[in-house]
């Protein structure tokens, strides 16, 4: 007769190991001339690498090189190319990387803004709002219709993020209930009402046949998942990584290869693509949520190209042994690298906050034949800021510069600025200059030189903000 004995593992064992061997974080500005080394020594646990990378990327820091083995070393600068010298920032990094492993009860340094002016991630884990999560087939006007219904239902959008990839769309709205004067939506009947109305909008262009869609309201919780990680999870669950004729990986030049290192018992994953901010977060996030453990890694940037190498195993200790599993991981990493890649012209908005703002802006886009490929908007008190990447709704190409100017005039040229660092800027500039020379609209200098500088410029510009014209 076989024994039914199984070894017992105390659930407090891992936390005991962390108390015995707590994380140690060292910020080194002496070793390298042109970057700061962030060195982290910690017990390897599933998700620990993602937590480290998340802290750095939320601060808009660029990771040019990294080595992960028994410890982690990150070569970082801010987005202006400077080393990290601010004591408050250094202490914040040290405390943030340690707090997650110790329960986060100690008082942290407060970093209100990153080097380029972005507000440090308070919206990611906010307990003040209800989160609306949505995935559906991407189509022009979807964001406009969703925000219009929310406004009609008395739900104020405090923040929103939307991604599109491979004909799929995912959005997260953080909303408060204006019918009770603010705060999260707590009445179960009201939750059902809002969900039903939104499902009607999302499902209006779905024709059955197994088309996927999700509309869900999630109440506030202290354990709320980081917004961008949650977007990756939503798109992964929606299977946006499945090929759909979009040719995304071919356009972006992203390459993923997987080999098994039998003598060491690892699968070796290589990712090569165009470098950009938060790329490391996106790939590590995907591996973590697919339940793979990164034991060793080497990340570097060679000019404009990022090269990443991961030595991984599944949480059960197995390598990627089947062709189907390797193909799925390859597809998912390709999608992770491409979801955040922006398409179209970037329009930065900066104005006074009011109920219905997002609905009004996106309505103007829709009425002028523009489609939103990516969006992010956030409010702070009386101010609202954000960015929209727009394309021509009918062709998917860059929006016509004349149409862009019509939209800017309708919304307010001091409210909506064309961002010079966006992919569609060169086309917009050349076409716009031609129309100016032939007696068209005179070009207005862009107030914000690049997108993330929005928050840094807020106070200087706030006196000039106008309201959107009805």
Q: Please say whether the beta carbons of 160 and 174 come within 8 A.
A: yes
For range 364-378, the mean pLDDT: 96
Q: What percent of the chain has pLDDT over 70?
A: 76
Q: For 81-123, what is each residue's pLDDT tens digit?
A: 999 999 999 999 998 888 654 454 455 555 556 665 565 654 5
What's residue 463's pLDDT?
Answer: 38
Q: For 265-316, what is each residue's pLDDT tens digit?
A: 999 999 999 999 999 999 999 999 999 999 999 999 988 999 999 999 999 9
Cβ neighbors of 24 (< 8 A, separation 6 or more) are 40, 41, 42
Name which residue leads in pLDDT, 339 or 381: 339
| C-alpha closest to that of 132 among 116, 119, 149 | 149
Whole-angstrom distance, CA of residue 36 vs CA of residue 48: 21
Q: What percent of the chain has pLDDT over 90?
A: 62
What's residue 224's pLDDT?
Answer: 84
Residue 426 scores a pLDDT above 70: no
Do the bridges between strand 155-165 and strand 168-177 make them parallel or antiparallel, or are there none, so unpaired? antiparallel
What's residue 427's pLDDT?
Answer: 67
**Concatenated DSSP letters for 230-298?**
HHHHHHHHTTTTS--S--HHHHHT-EEEEEEETTTTEEEEEEEEE--TTHHHHHHHHHHHTTEEEEEEE
For range 41-46, the mean pLDDT: 80
For range 179-200, the mean pLDDT: 94
What's residue 24's pLDDT?
Answer: 87
What's residue 209's pLDDT?
Answer: 66
CA geometry: angle 138, 121, 459, nearest 5 deg = 100
Structure tokens at 283: 């790939």
Find where tokens 């601060």 sit. 59
Q: For 246-262, what is each residue's pLDDT tens digit?
A: 444 555 689 999 999 88
Residue 61, strand partner residues: 78
Q: For 142-161, what is each residue's pLDDT tens digit?
A: 999 999 999 999 999 999 99
For range 201-219, the mean pLDDT: 84
- Three-state DSSP at 423 gives coil
What's residue 298's pLDDT?
Answer: 97
Whole-angstrom distance, CA of residue 372 vs CA of residue 389: 6
Cβ neighbors of 318 (< 8 A, separation 6 or more) are none
What's residue 434's pLDDT?
Answer: 56
Among 103-107, 134-138, 305-309, 384-388, which stretch is predicted with the lowest mean pLDDT?
103-107
Average pLDDT of the chain is: 83
Domains of the chain, start order = 17-99 (3.30.70.260), 130-243+342-418 (3.30.70.260), 255-339 (3.30.70.260)
């Amino acid at each position: 007769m076989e024994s039914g004995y199984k070894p017992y593992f105390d659930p407090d064992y891992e936390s005991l190991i962390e108390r015995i061997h707590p994380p140690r974080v060292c910020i080194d500005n002496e070793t390298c001339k042109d970057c700061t080394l962030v060195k982290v020594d910690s017990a390897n646990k599933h998700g620990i690498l993602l937590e480290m990378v998340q802290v750095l990327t939320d601060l808009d820091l660029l990771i040019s090189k990294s080595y992960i083995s028994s410890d982690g070393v990150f070569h970082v600068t801010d987005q202006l190319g400077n080393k990290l010298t601010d004591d408050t920032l250094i202490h914040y990094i040290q405390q943030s990387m340690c707090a997650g492993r110790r329960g986060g009860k100690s008082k942290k340094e407060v970093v209100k803004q990153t080097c380029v002016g972005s507000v440090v991630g308070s919206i990611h884990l906010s307990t003040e709002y209800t989160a609306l999560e949505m995935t559906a087939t991407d189509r022009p006007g979807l964001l406009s219709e969703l925000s219009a219904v929310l406004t009609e239902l008395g739900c104020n959008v405090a923040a929103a993020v939307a991604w599109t990839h491979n004909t799929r769309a995912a959005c997260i709205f953080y909303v408060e209930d204006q019918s009770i004067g603010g705060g999260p939506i707590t009445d179960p009947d009201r939750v059902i009402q809002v969900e039903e109305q939104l499902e009607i909008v999302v499902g209006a262009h779905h024709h059955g046949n197994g088309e996927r869609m999700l509309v869900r309201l999630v109440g506030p919780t202290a354990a709320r998942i980081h917004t961008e990680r949650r977007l990756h999870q939503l798109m992964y669950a929606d299977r946006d990584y499945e090929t759909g004729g979009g040719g995304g990986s071919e356009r972006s030049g992203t390459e993923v290869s997987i080999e098994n290192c039998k003598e060491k018992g690892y699968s070796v994953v290589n990712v090569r693509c165009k470098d950009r901010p938060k790329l490391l977060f996106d790939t590590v996030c995907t591996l973590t949520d697919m339940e793979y453990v990164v034991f060793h890694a080497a990340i570097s940037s060679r000019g404009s190209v990022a090269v990443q190498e991961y030595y991984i195993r599944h949480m059960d200790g197995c390598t990627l042994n089947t062709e189907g599993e390797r193909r799925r991981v390859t597809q998912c990493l390709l999608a992770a690298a491409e979801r955040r890649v922006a398409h179209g012209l970037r329009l930065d908005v900066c104005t006074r906050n009011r109920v219905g703002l997002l609905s009004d802006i996106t309505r103007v886009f829709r009425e002028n034949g523009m489609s939103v490929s990516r969006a992010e908007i956030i409010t702070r008190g009386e101010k609202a800021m954000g960015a929209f990447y727009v394309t021509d709704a009918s062709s998917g190409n860059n929006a016509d510069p004349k149409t862009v100017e019509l939209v800017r005039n309708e919304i307010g040229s001091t409210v909506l600025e064309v961002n010079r660092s966006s992919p569609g800027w060169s086309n917009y500039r050349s076409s716009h200059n031609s129309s100016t020379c032939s007696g068209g609209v005179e070009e207005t200098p862009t107030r914000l030189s690049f997108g993330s500088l929005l928050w840094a410029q807020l106070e200087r510009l706030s006196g000039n903000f106008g309201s959107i014209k009805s």
